[in-house]
Amino acid sequence: MTGIAVSLSRGRGHIRTDRGRAVVVARCPLCGEEHRYDKGAAGGEEIELLRQVGYTDEWLPCQADLPGNFWRIVIVGGRQGGKSDAPRRVRRAKGK
3-state secondary structure 39-90: EEECCCHHHHHHHHHCEEEEECHHHCCCCCCEEEEEECCCCCCCCCCCCCCC
pTM value surpassing 0.75: no
Residue 9 banded pLDDT, cuts 50, 70, 90: confident
- What whole-number percentage of the chain has pLDDT above 90? 49
Distances (CA, A) of 83 to 38, 43, 66: 16, 5, 36
Q: Between residues 25 and 85, which one has the greater pLDDT?
A: 25
pLDDT, residue 75, reads 95
**Are the CB atoms for 33 and 20 separated by under 8 Å?**
no
pLDDT tens-place string over residues 43-86: 999 999 999 999 999 988 887 766 668 899 999 975 544 444 44
